[in-house]
Amino acid sequence: MKNLFLFVLAASLLFFSCSNNPEVIDNSITIAGKLGNSESPVIIVSHNNEEITQDSVKSDGSFVLAFDYEETGIYSILNGDLRFSLYLNPGDSIFVTGDSKEFEQTFTASGDMAQENEYLNKRDFFLYESRLYDPYVFMAVKKDAYFYKKDSIISIAKTFYEELKSKEGIDTAFLSWEESSFQYQDIFMDQLYPMYHALANKIPQDSVDFPIEEIRKKIENLPMDNPELLRVEFYVYMIYRRIESLANEIMEADSSITAIEMAEWIAIDSLIKVPEMVDFFKYGFIKRSMENRGPLQVEEVYNKFISENSTPKYVKRLEKVKAKWDPILPGKPVPDFTFTDIKGDSVKLSDLKGQLVYIDIWATWCGPCIAEHPNWDKLKEEYKDKPVAFLTVSIDDTREPWEKMVKNKKMEGLQWFASNAWQSELAQFFMVNAIPRFLLLDKEGKIIDPSAERPSGKIREILDKHLAGLV
């Protein structure tokens, strides 16, 4: 389903599931099918934002995705621009068909969880068409209109659910999960309304007319002792937000805690007492930080988690994430990537050898990236007489907005552009999942730090240390 979950995925930090069938021994899952008008020769299945396996799509559109996985929950299927989801248990086999150009209207399923997944396709398509997942449109209206629209749309979606519930042989765990999803979707959306309403109408968030305190109390009263709710993305997101909020308070109250990961660890321990849930959220935060910043940045909490957790599957997954960073750890060489500068000329990283290279990977649409620009300019001025090259690399989708901003803001120095945006060689090599991302290379073009401090952070200490080594 094309772009169906953009809203939920953008708002959510991560989406996880946990097994409600611990007695299942057969963890094999098979997803087979046939796609009409497939736009890509490769089809991928992922879970928890992690690719599990992939297969080639044959000339007739057929494919088979077979893998072992121990968790019940949502599996995302990706083929080019087509994205759809399937709810499956360990041991399930399902066959799906659909035309990639009209997938929602042509989707069929047979085998395990067939009726449940046909319902999901119908429900999700309806919610997508209703613009429920487009917050800048849906939440731009005033509160009474928002409540009316939201309640009306969800009420219709619930009629699909009641129709499914009346059928024979429907998975009871699926029905329970769906009921919880409806229950927590309301609070999930309401707590986002002030922010998106303010953004859509370009007004201060604190001026938005909305029962914010009432929503905050609902979130504070969410149950913290039911592991079954870890399969409900709306619930999980709200708990993540609550943990993050408390972590920020902890850091403000105790200046000795300088790592957000440690503050999050403390916040989780103070809020949650069920070991399974504690491991779940600690794993989630560590995984996110490790994917975005690398293992060196989370070494302390990573080691604590490895020694203290009681969920072996999370350890294996973190070790897998950590291993991905091996090629870009300090001391490793960097390929001589090619870019274009603001004049359109071809340039390479090797052009900067003989000096430290501090790289800012950014894009014009990225607010946090733009916020660092004044700090970048100040830092660059401070080190103008030192052998440090300050290089900004844009991963905008096209050159036009980048060229316009560079020229309008009179951004000087090394301004380079990477073709193919997130799929550019630089972004792929350094596993860039979020921006801004800063890199520091030595005079030989080898890695000093694959996830360096921001200009607003403690980068001066690191620069001074390595500059002293050049003397």
96-131 tens-digit pLDDT = 999 999 999 999 999 999 999 999 999 999 999 999
Asked if residue 229 has pLDDT above 60, the reply is yes
Name the helix (H) or strand (E) containing 395.
none
Which residues, at least 6 apart from 286, have a Cβ–Cβ distance to it below 8 Å?
A: 261, 298, 301, 302, 305, 318
pLDDT value of position 336 = 95
What does DSSP assign to residue 37?
T
Could you tell me the pLDDT band of residue 6, with boundaries at 50, 70 and 90? very low
pLDDT tens digit sequence for 426-448: 999 999 988 999 999 999 999 99
pLDDT value of residue 241: 93
What is residue 4's predicted lDDT score, i.e. its pLDDT?
37
Q: Over 70: is that where the pLDDT of 247 sits? A: yes
Sorting pLDDT into bands at 50, 70 and 90, what band is 71? Answer: confident
Tell me the pLDDT tens digit for each residue of 272-317.
Answer: 999 999 999 999 999 999 988 888 888 999 999 999 999 998 999 8
pLDDT at site 9: 35
pLDDT for residue 16: 31
Cα separation, 91 vs 252, in Å, equals 48
Evaluate whether 139 touches 200 at the Cβ level (below 8 Å).
yes
pTM of the prediction?
0.81
Binned at pLDDT 50, 70 and 90, residue 470 comes out as low
Distance CA 232, CA 223 (A): 13
Predicted confidence at residue 26, as pLDDT, reads: 72
Q: Is the model's pLDDT at 17 over the cut of 70?
A: no
Average pLDDT value for residue range 361-387: 94
Is the pLDDT confidence value at 70 over 90? no
Q: How confident is the model at residue 15 (pLDDT cuts 50, 70, 90)?
A: very low
Query: pLDDT averaged over the chain?
Result: 91
Here the tokens at position 390 are: 């300050």
Q: Which residues pair with 47 in a beta bridge?
A: 50
Phi (first) and psi of residue 295, to 5 degrees:
-65, -30
Where is pLDDT greater, at 24 or 133? 133
pLDDT of residue 1: 42
Whether residue 158 has pLDDT greater than 70: yes
**Cis peptide preceding 374, ω within 30 of 0:** no
Q: Among the listed ranges 1-5, 141-145, 238-242, 258-262, which one has the minimum average pLDDT value?
A: 1-5
Among 417, 413, 363, CA closest to 388: 413
Q: For tokens 């209207």, what's the residue?
A: 105
Q: Which domains does the chain have, with CATH numbers?
A: 1-127 (2.60.40.1120), 222-324 (no CATH), 338-468 (3.40.30.10)
- Per-residue pLDDT of 323-364, as tens digits, reads 999 999 999 999 999 999 999 999 999 999 999 999 999 999
